Amino acid sequence: MQKIIASLFAAILLMACNNSRQSSSSSIVINPYNYTVVKKVVAENGAVVSAHPLASKVGVEILKAGGNAVDAAIATQLALAVVYPNAGNLGGGGFFVARLANGEQVSIDYREKAPGKAHRDMYIDADGTPRTDKSQDGHLAGGVPGTVFGLFTSCKYTKLPFAKLIQPAIDLAEKGFVITKREASSLNNLQKDLKKYNTIMPVFVKDKWNEGDTLVQTDLANTLKRIKDKGAAGFYEGETARLIVEEMKRGGGIISYEDLKNYNAKPREPHSFMYKGYKIIGMPMPSSGGLLVHQMMKMIENKNIGAMGFHSTAAVQLMTEAARRAYADRAEYMGDADFYKVPVQQISSDVYLQERMKNYDPAKATPSTEIKPRILTGKESEETTHLSVIDKEGNAVSVTTTLNNSYGSRTVIGGAGFFLNDEMDDFSIKPGVPNMYGAIGGEANAIMPGKRMLSSMTPTIVLKDNKPYIVVGTPGGTTIPTQVFQTLVNILEFNMSAEDAVYKPKFHHQWLPDTLHLERGFPTSTKDALIKMGYATRERGAIGRTEIIRVLPNGKFEAVADNRGDDGAEGF
Ligand code: DON
């Protein structure tokens, strides 16, 4: 019965997107051999900003062809699955947040799920040793992919036929595209893992990649064509499902036909709150991001941070202490709310958050050992990628998707051409054992079949006067919510331009480990003052890749791509 329902659902999903819709037959042409990286545009009619210039171009061409921001977001994601294999994906999952022109707020959860054969202790050896090697690399690290189901779920809001949205991705995979220096270097760094974790050598294996090489992905093009022809069933059933399950058999993975057929994305009520007159719309569980940003912003709201000044010791210290307290709650209470009662209302209430800040001391660091998750009564290289889109009709879309680590599990599904995620590592594989981002957890985020692993992805939209004002998000594992928090504070409190808000060095604290991470370039005087107050600091390289669109007072769209990568902004 479940099978029949799943097949019917796939068919309905395809129809929802399809192809009965009229659109001009002219196809979208992108030159994949000659493109420039544009970091900032100011546009009147629409803008797209993503991790790859070709993907942003695809999105803008879709807008020009009459699509809305949701059409563009879908086409951009599909293009990223081809041109940005580090994180763009078919084999992973993501979150979609939108504020539509009609005022509707939408969020869609297409986070991966634990396979049916997964169990709580699957990454713990008989002697109790946690096996993060298995939760992070290779076949067993993969959750059931959600991206394709998510794309078809968001099709409910599109204008153009799905065939038109997916065709640019098919062309880019089939004809190839020229890779950048950064891409060549990341593929070269991957070679050892590719050989280790693949049963059939994928196209990414090569003696040496160079800037300017063309990457052709025929298997991936064929998978995309099956999706074009059959809708979600072109991925979760038939040939693609067969290739996934065969890959699992060859490599010791556990994703089954049943898991694929039973996968579903879920529309959810977005997590929204007000901050000084702005409405902030984010992703609910299983993203911790919406709630963490809510907690952190409310903890600083009455502290007049604007007067403290950007990168001042006082401001950085206050935001760090807010982050420390919010992340302690993350470790204890947050997980897939379909499986665990997450006390969202309680831990985002003003009373609770003021109480949480009672032991905040502006003169010194609060040790994390003194910030226990509260006992509530009635207990209830890394890579991800973000894209922001806006159109002139008033639709704003914020999407973050991920394979978890860069290139996910490093396993490419033989014959299907896409990387499988390693999202299982986002579960708490054993209480107190850190995942690859150092995050710990317990019961709330324990593995169970069909459960979604807790995420930090934080696609966010800010409304001002009830109209889209900021569309923002970033990759960066557990640093995602603190980066979105900082970008918002930079604009809303320090009145910074979008460029400065994104490009200036960031910082990060996540309760445990009790370390304040400072991005390279962070002011030394502030760092020294913080060390004197008792902070253990650690310098690190780039924190995330924030993609932002801000609506200017004249109504134009200012789209800024992060300068920490090859990211590109496009508009018209
Ligand atoms: O969902 C999460 O929180 C992580 N899987 C995100 C991974 C990520 O951002 C990696 N990128 N730098």
Which of 5 and 204 is assigned the larger pLDDT? 204
**CA-CA-CA-CA dihedral for 389, 287, 407, 503, to nearest 10:** 50
Name every residue whose Cβ is closer than 8 Å to that of residue 129 and which is 6 or more positions away in sequence. none
Contact between residue 547 and residue 387 where contact means Cβ atoms under 8 Å apart: yes
pLDDT band at 380 (very low <50, low <70, confident <90, very high): very low
Q: Which of 80, 384, 543 to mutate to test the pocket of ligand 1 (most atoms within 8 A of CB)?
A: 384
- Please give the helix or strand (H or E) that residue 6 lies within, else none: helix 2-17
Residue 35 has pLDDT above 80, yes or no: yes
Q: Is 404 in the pocket of ligand 1 (CB under 6 A)?
A: yes
Question: CA torsion 255→120→373→275, rounded to 10°?
Answer: 20
CA dist., res. 433 & res. 430, Å (int): 5
534: left (phi over 0), alpha (psi -120 to 50) or beta: left
What separation in Å is there between the alpha carbon of 291 and the centre of ligand 1?
Answer: 16
pLDDT of residue 237: 98
Look at residue 377 and tell me whether its pLDDT is greater than 50. no
Confidence at residue 8, expressed as pLDDT on a 0 to 100 scale: 60
Instruction: Look at the pTM and tell me if it is higher than 0.75.
Output: yes
Asked if residue 383 has its Cβ within 6 Å of ligand 1, the reply is yes
Tracing tokens 């009147």 back to the chain, one arrives at 44
Q: Name the DSSP letter for residue 139.
A: G
What is the per-residue pLDDT across 65-112, written as a single tens digit (0 to 9) for each? 999 999 999 999 999 999 999 999 999 999 999 999 999 999 999 999
Q: Is 473 helix (H, G, I), strand (E, B) or coil?
A: strand
Q: Is the CB of 437 under 6 A from ligand 1?
A: no
The residue contributing the CA closest to ligand 1 atom 6 is 477
Cα–Cα distance for residue pair 485/510, rounded to 1 Å: 13
Cα(402) to ligand 1 centroid in Å equals 6
Q: What is the CA radius of gyration of the chain?
A: 22
| Average pLDDT of the residues of the chain | 95
The response to whether residue 475 sits with its C-beta less than 6 Å from ligand 1 reads yes
**476 Cβ inside 6 Å of ligand 1:** yes
Distances (CA, A) of 123 to 49, 132, 134, 254, 375: 37, 7, 7, 13, 28
Work out the end-to-end distance of the chain between its first and last CA atoms, rounded to an integer number of angstroms.
Answer: 49
Q: Is 500 exposed, middle or buried (0-12, 13-18, 19+ CB in 10 A)?
A: middle
421 lines ligand 1 (CB under 6 A): no
Hey, whose CA ends up nearest to atom 10 of ligand 1?
383
- Strand 93-99 relative to strand 396-402, pairing: antiparallel
343: CA distance to ligand 1 center in Å? 23
The answer to whether 180 is a known catalytic residue is no
- Take residue 347 and report the two structure tokens written for it: 């831990």
At 118, which amino acid appears?
Answer: A
Atom of ligand 1 minimally distant from the CA of 479: 9
Q: Which two tokens stand for residue 215?
A: 């990457």
- Using DSSP's 3-state secondary structure scheme, residue 51 falls into coil
Residues of the chain with pLDDT > 90, as a percent, come to 92
Partner residues linked to 310 by β-bridges: none
pLDDT in tens, 180-217: 999 999 999 999 999 999 999 999 999 999 999 999 99
Of 384, 400, 402, 479, the active-site residue reads: 384
Give the per-residue pLDDT at 383.
78
Phi, psi of 330 (to 5 degrees): -55, -50
Distance 428 CA to ligand 1 centre (A): 14
From the CB of 384, is ligand 1 less than 6 Å away? yes
Is 70 exceeded by the pLDDT of residue 381? no
Q: What is the pLDDT of residues 272-296, one digit of tens each?
A: 999 999 999 999 999 999 999 999 9
**Are the CB atoms for 80 and 73 separated by under 8 Å?**
no
